[in-house]
Structure 1
Amino acid sequence: MKCTRVYADSEGMSHFEDRDIEFAEVDFAPPAPSLFLSTFFRASRYAFFRAPAGWFGDWHPAPHKQVFFFLSGEIEVGVSDGEIRLIGPGSVVELEDTGGKGHVTRVIGDEDVLAAVVQLPD
C-alpha cells in the first residue's frame, strides 16, 4: 500500500515523499482466519472532514500532524518545492508540515471532498 507524506525540511520548504506500508500475516481476530496487518501507529483523535466544491486554501501549514483517508471527491495539493499532486478516493496522505510555508490545497471538480482525518500525538 502507498502513503503520501507531506513534510517540511529544515528550511521550512514542503515536499512530498511516497511511502510503502508493509503488511504481515497475523491472527488478528481469532477464530476468524488470519489476515494482513501493518504495524499500529499512535493516534490521539479522529474526525470526518468535508471540503465543499470550489474550496481553496492558500499557503498554510498543517495545524497538527495528521493522516487523511480520502473517501470521495478530488483535491489538489501543492508543496513549496513546486510539485502538485491530485489526490482522490482511496488515497492516504500524512501531513507533517506543521511549520514553514506549508502547502496549498484546492478542491477539483463539482464534488465535495470527504475524508476521515486522524490526528497524531505531538
Structure 2
Amino acid sequence: MAPTPTDADAAPRIPYWHLWTDEQGVSRQTRCTLTEFDLKSMSPPADPQWQGRKTHGGMTVMVTVQPVGWTGTWHENPRPQWIIPLSGRWFVESMDGQRVEMGPGEISFGEDQGTREHDGRKGHCSGTVGPEPAVLMVVQMDAPPTLASPCRFR
C-alpha cells in the first residue's frame, strides 16, 4: 500500500557527520540530522516516497577504494563532498582531536576547506579501519564551501 501524506509523523530522520571549519580555522565534526523531506512521487505514477532537498549545480560522482591499512596524512577535502561508505570501515579525525569511525550506510559531509595549520594538523586525517578495504562513494560539489556553519543540510 502506498504511503499517504498523513504519514508525516513517519518522516525520516537521517544522521550524518559534518566535518567543518570554525572561525579560528580549526576543523571540527558535528553530528547532524537530515529532516526536511516531502512525501511525493519522484516520477508519477510511481508511489510517493520521502524526498529530501535537492542540490543543483555541477557535481562529480566517484567510487574510491582505500586499501587495508591506508592512511591519508593531514589534508583538506578537495571540495565540499558527501562520502558514503559502501563496504568496509573508515575513520576521519578532525583537528580538534575528535575521531569518528563509519561503516556502510553512514554518511559524512566533508567541508573542512579554509583550515589553518596548527601543531602539524591542517584539515583532517582519514584512513581505513579493520581487515578489509573501505569502498566509498564520493559526491563532490562544485559550489564553494560554507565556513563556520555546522549542520547546514537539514
What is the TM-score normalised by the length of structure 2?
Answer: 0.75
Quote how far apart the aligned CAs of 1:99 are: 2.4
Runs of 4+ in 1 over 4 A off after TM superposition: none
Match for 1:38: what amino acid? G
Match for 1:29: what amino acid? S
Show CA shifts across 1:25-76 (max 9, x none).
Answer: 0121211111110010235211111110000112111111111111011111
- Distance in 1, Cα, partners of 2:81 & 2:26: 18
Structure-2 residue corresponding to 1:106: 127
Greater Cα offset, 77-86 or 16-25: 16-25
Greater Cα offset, 48-57 or 22-31: 22-31
Aligned pair partner of 1:41 in 55, 58, 62: 55
What is the TM-score normalised by the length of structure 1?
Answer: 0.93
Structure-1 residue corresponding to 2:82: 67
Aligned pair partner of 1:27 in 41, 59, 75: 41
Q: Greater Rg, structure 1 or structure 2?
A: 2
Structure-1 residue corresponding to 2:102: 87
Q: Which runs of 5+ in 2 are unaligned?
A: 1-13, 116-121, 145-154
Report if aligned partners of 1:68, 1:115 keep a CA contact under 8 Å in 2: yes
Percent sequence identity is 29
Structure-2 residue corresponding to 1:54: 69
- Distance in 2, Cα, partners of 1:73 & 1:58: 20
- Distance in 1, Cα, partners of 2:103 & 2:94: 17
Q: Which runs of 5+ in 1 are unaligned?
A: none
RMSD: 1.2
> How many residues align structurally?
122
Specify which structure has the higher proportion of strand. 1
Report if aligned partners of 1:62, 1:99 keep a CA contact under 8 Å in 2: no
Match for 2:20: what amino acid? Y
- Distance in 2, Cα, partners of 1:99 & 1:120: 16
Structure-2 residue corresponding to 1:120: 141
